[in-house]
Amino acid sequence: MEAYKQRFIEFMVRSGVLTFGDFTTKSGRKTPYFVNTGLYRTGQQMRQLGEFYADAIEAGIGTKYDVLFGPAYKGIPLVVTTAIALAGRNRDIAFCFNRKEAKDHGERGVLVGHQPQNGERVLIIEDVTTAGTSIRETVPILRHAADITLAGLIVSTDRKERGTGNDTALEEVGREFTMPTFAIVTVHEVIKHLSENDVDGKRHLTDDLKQKMLAYLEEYGARS
């Protein structure tokens, strides 16, 4: 496993973003772990988060994109910090995000920041693997703005859960919109690293919790 992935997993634990216990997902599933990117709450955390996204982008698709897009609301700070991190690596990339409601005064419109141009390749920055709702809502907005190409979708954590079929929800979204999808880390990488390593002297993923996570994936995980 790449070093940046290991550092990111420990970063999520230290930030209180990755926690273990008894939770219920939006879909109603009972899960033994939860990833809540809304709990990143300091400038230092956001600076580090942007660097991890930049690491994963470089490893995943290199420079095959022209614009970054963050779906409202959680995608807004993610796209900004990622753009800043990439600028620090001598790659100054335009970014934009959407409003939930179109503005009917001032500059008007739904998109804020860079206005996509015909032929540009847009990379979408998201938080965790979802059912793809926000992607399905915002892709039409991007395509209405210009004749863009979807360069890909990156999320922080891929839970590797089934979508409507046997593939993961992330894979299904990628296939639907004909774009590559990838994550900084997957749940399998989280399990491997935290079951073998302590974070600040504590074993956060005990054998009991590991078995609960594996059982959860056995029930809800993708078969592909």
What is the distance between the alpha carbons of residues 191 and 29, in angstroms, rounded to a whole number? 19
Please state, in angstroms and as integers, the Cα–Cα distance from residue 202 to each residue in 11, 13, 185, 196, following that order.
Answer: 14, 11, 21, 11
C-alpha distances in Å from residue 161, one per residue of 10, 26, 128, 220, 224: 22, 13, 11, 6, 10
Q: How far apart are CA 188 and CA 214, in angstroms?
A: 9
Which residues sit opposite 184 in a β-bridge? none
212 noted as active-site residue: no
Phi-psi group of 108: left, alpha or beta (phi > 0 → left; psi -120 to 50 → alpha; rest → beta): left
| Residue in the block written with tokens 């109603």 | 28
DSSP 119-140: T-EEEEE-SB--SSHHHHHHHH
Nearest-5° Cα angle at 189, 58 to 197: 115
Q: Which residue of the set 26, 30, 100, 105 is catalytic?
A: 105
Catalytic residues, which ones?
Answer: 103, 105
